[in-house]
Structure 1
Amino acid sequence: MRVWCRSNRVCVGPRHRIRQGARRRAGLIAQSRRATPPGRCLGPTRREATRQRAARRCSSLIGSQPTALLAPCSARCLVASQTRFDRHQTLNISIINPGLITDFSPTANVFSIPFMYRDVAHWRTVLTGGVGREIAGRIEDETGVRVIGFFGGGTRQIVSRRPLESLTDLEGMKLRTNPTDPLIAAWKALGAEPTVMAWKEIYTGLQLGAIDGLLNEAEWIHRMRFHEVAPHIGLSRHDITVRLLTISGATWQRLNDAQREQVQAAAREAAGYAREVQLRQDREALDTLVEEGATLHELDRERMKTMVREPLARACFYLPNASRCG
C-alpha cells in the first residue's frame, strides 16, 4: 500500500528508502537549516505520527502486506499531484490539503471559507455530521477519490511583520494566501492584498519584505520559525484547518464489504485521534510562540465576519452547504 503524506521528515517502509538528496532537491534541507537554530531539530510532527498510525492500521486491515510505504510530500505544490495519483491508482491512501485540489474539485473550496466555524464544537459537528458526509460525497463525485476521514485542528491566525493593533492595520498588507476564491475575496474585503508565494519562499519573502505576512496555524508558525521575522500574531481565528484522508476509488472497489467496514472504522479512529492531538498541539504551540517573543494581538472577529459576509456570498454561491456551515 502506498500512502503519501506531507512531512518535513522522511517516513519509509522496509521495502523503500528515500535518500537525503531527494529532500535537498526539493529545497527542504536549506529551509530547515535556515529556519532552525543550531542544535535544534524540527522532529516529526504530531500529524505525521497520526499518518503513520493510520497507514499501519489501514494496511494491516486491507490484506496481505503488514506495512505501508509512507512517501513524503513536503512541497505544497505536490499536493495536487497526490490527487492525480489517487485518481490514476498510483497511490492507495493520501492526506490532502483541500485548498490545493480545487482544480479537480470545486467543492473543496468550501474548506477555505474563512469564519465558517463558530467554534471548535461547531467545526467537529460539520466534519462528523451530515454536512461533512455530503461534502465528502461531492468531492468523490468530482474526483473519483473517496474521502474516508477528516484530519486537522490548527486554528489559523495572521502572522505579520508589523503590529496589528486594529483592523486598519490590514490595509495594504501583502498577505500570503492560498489561491482560492473565498480566501482572496475575504482578505481583499478586509483591505489586505492577497499574494501567492511558494511555501519554501515564505521565510525569505518575509525577511526581504516581499510579503508582509501570511495565514497559518501556531504549529507551523513555530516549526518554520516565521515568528523570527514576523513576530506579530493577529488572533483572527478565521479558520480551523481540515485535511482530507482519502482512498483511491479503484482501491476501494477492490475491497469486499468486510474490508471496507474495517478500513472505514480505522479511518474514523485515526481521524478522531488526529483532530484531538492537533487541537492540543495548537494550544501548546501558541504558548511556546509567546515564550519565544511573539506578540499576540486580539482582533475584532465579529467585525471581520461582518466585513467579509457579502464578498463571501458572491464568491461561494456555487459551493454546497456554505450557508449551513457557518
Structure 2
Amino acid sequence: MDRRTLLAATMGITGFAITGRAQAQAITLNGASQFNDEHAFTRSLVRFEELVKQYYGKPINFVLHKNSSLGLEKQYFEYMSQGRAVDYGIVSPAHMSTFSRAAPFIDAPFLFRDLAHWNKVLDQDMLKPIADELEKRARVMLIGYAGGGVRNIFASRRIENMEALQSLKIRVQGAPIWSRTFAAAGMSPTVIAYNEIYNAIQNNVIEAGENEAAGVEQMRFYEVAPNLAMTQHAITIRPLCFSVATFARLPADLQAAIRRAGPEAAAYGRQIESGEDGQKLASLESAGRLKRVPFAERDTLQQKVAPVLAAYAKEIDADPIMRRITEATS
C-alpha cells in the first residue's frame, strides 16, 4: 500500500474530528486539489471554505490537500463516491463517465462558441440533468461550476493549419469524445495520465497535448512543447463536487451553507480563470517561454468535428442537452 492509499484509508476512518472542550464537536471536511496555491482551482476551493465558514457561523475545520498529495482528480471523484478520504474537490467531467456517459459531453471540444455562450449555458442551468444523474448514480453532488479556461494545443513543433495537424501524436483526456473528435480532425490521439504528459513529450512518445493557460503554466509544459497553436477548441467546465455520503451526515444548517457557498465559489473560480487566461499566455510569451501560433483554419477544424460531436450526443442520449446548448443565444 503506497503512501497516498494509506493516507486515504486512514482519512476514511477519521473524516470527522472531535476537538475543543468537553462535548464540543467540530466537523472536519477534507478537500483535494492537484495544484498549488496559485492555481485557479485551489483558489476556488479556498473561497468555498471561506464562504461555508461565513454562512455556517459555527466552528468547522477544513483541510485542503494540494499538489496531488491524494492522487489525481480521478481518485478524488472515486473517494467522494465512496464517502471516504475526500469530501469536496474540483474534478474534470472526463473522470465521471463511469457513472454518467453524458458527463464528459459538457466539456466536449467545440461545444461552446465563445465565453458569452458558455456563461449563458451555465446561468440557465442546462447541465442539471447530468448533475441529477451523478448525484443518484455516483453519489456525488455538483454544487457549482468552475472553469472558464480556453484550451489550445501545445506542441513540440509549430502547428498552424489542418495540414500540420495530420497524424499529430497528441495526449487527450480519457473520455471517448476527446479521442473521437481529435481523430476526426486527422490527429493521432492517445490517453496518458495528466502527470505523465511532460515526460511523454520529452521522450518523444507524444508530440503535443491540450490545455488551458493555467495548466500549461502550472505543469511547465512550455519547456517541452513551446508552440501553442491557438485552436481554442474548448472552454473548460470544472464542477465543484461534494460527497453525498458526507453531506447526508452534516447538520441541516451546514448543508444549507454548502449549497449556498458552492455556486458562489465556482463563479469566483470562473471569473479568475477566464480573466487570467490571456494574461498568463501573454506573460509566458513575453518571457520567451512559449510562442502563440495563430491557427488559420479553426472553422474547418470545427466542421470536421461537428458530425462526430452530434453522433456522440445521440449515442449517449445527450442530444436534448446539445440541442438546448446549441440553440442558446450568447
SS in 1 for 2:271: helix
User: Which position in structure 2 is the counterpart of 1:164?
Assistant: 159
State which of 217, 220, 224 in structure 1 corresponds to 2:219: 224
User: Which position in structure 2 is the counterpart of 1:2?
Assistant: 29
Query: Which deviates further from its counterpart, 173-182 or 227-236?
Result: 227-236
RMSD of aligned C-alpha atoms? 2.2
* Residues in 1 aligned to 2:101 and 2:147: alpha-carbon distance in whole angstroms: 20
Question: What letter matches 1:145 in structure 2?
Answer: V
Per the TM alignment, residue 75 of structure 1 is displaced from its structure 2 partner at its CA by 7.5
SS in 1 for 2:149: strand
Deviations along 1:133-159, one digit per CA (max 9) or x if unpaired, are: 233222212212111101111110011
Question: What letter matches 1:125 in structure 2?
Answer: K
* Residues in 1 aligned to 2:206 and 2:69: alpha-carbon distance in whole angstroms: 19
- Kindly indicate whether residue 264 of structure 2 is the aligned counterpart of residue 237 of structure 1: no
Question: What letter matches 1:80 in structure 2?
Answer: K
User: Which position in structure 2 is the counterpart of 1:307?
Assistant: 304
* Residues in 2 aligned to 1:311 and 1:132: alpha-carbon distance in whole angstroms: 21
Question: Cα–Cα, structure 1 residues 85 and 201, in superposed 2: closer, same or farther, change >3 Å?
Answer: closer
Question: What letter matches 2:64 in structure 1?
Answer: L
Per the TM alignment, residue 239 of structure 1 is displaced from its structure 2 partner at its CA by 0.8
User: Which position in structure 2 is the counterpart of 1:16?
Assistant: none
Deviations along 1:296-315, one digit per CA (max 9) or x if unpaired, are: 22222221111111122222
TM-score (norm 2): 0.81
List alignment gaps of at least 5 residues for structure 1: 10-42
* Residues in 1 aligned to 2:121 and 2:212: alpha-carbon distance in whole angstroms: 20
Percent of aligned pairs with the same amino acid: 28
User: Which position in structure 2 is the counterpart of 1:125?
Assistant: 120
User: Which position in structure 1 is the counterpart of 2:323?
Assistant: 323
Deviations along 1:243-266, one digit per CA (max 9) or x if unpaired, are: 111222233334565544332221
Question: Cα–Cα, structure 1 residues 319 and 113, in superposed 2: closer, same or farther, change >3 Å?
Answer: farther
Deviations along 1:150-192, one digit per CA (max 9) or x if unpaired, are: 1111110011111112111011100000121111111001110
Query: What number of residue pairs does the alignment pair up?
Result: 293
* Residues in 1 aligned to 2:97 and 2:71: alpha-carbon distance in whole angstroms: 13
User: Which position in structure 1 is the counterpart of 2:174?
Assistant: 179
Per the TM alignment, residue 110 of structure 1 is displaced from its structure 2 partner at its CA by 1.3
* Residues in 1 aligned to 2:228 and 2:161: alpha-carbon distance in whole angstroms: 12
User: Which position in structure 1 is the counterpart of 2:47?
Assistant: 53
Per the TM alignment, residue 59 of structure 1 is displaced from its structure 2 partner at its CA by 4.8
SS in 1 for 2:72: helix
* Residues in 2 aligned to 1:176 and 1:44: alpha-carbon distance in whole angstroms: 25
TM-score (norm 1): 0.82
List alignment gaps of at least 5 residues for structure 2: 1-27
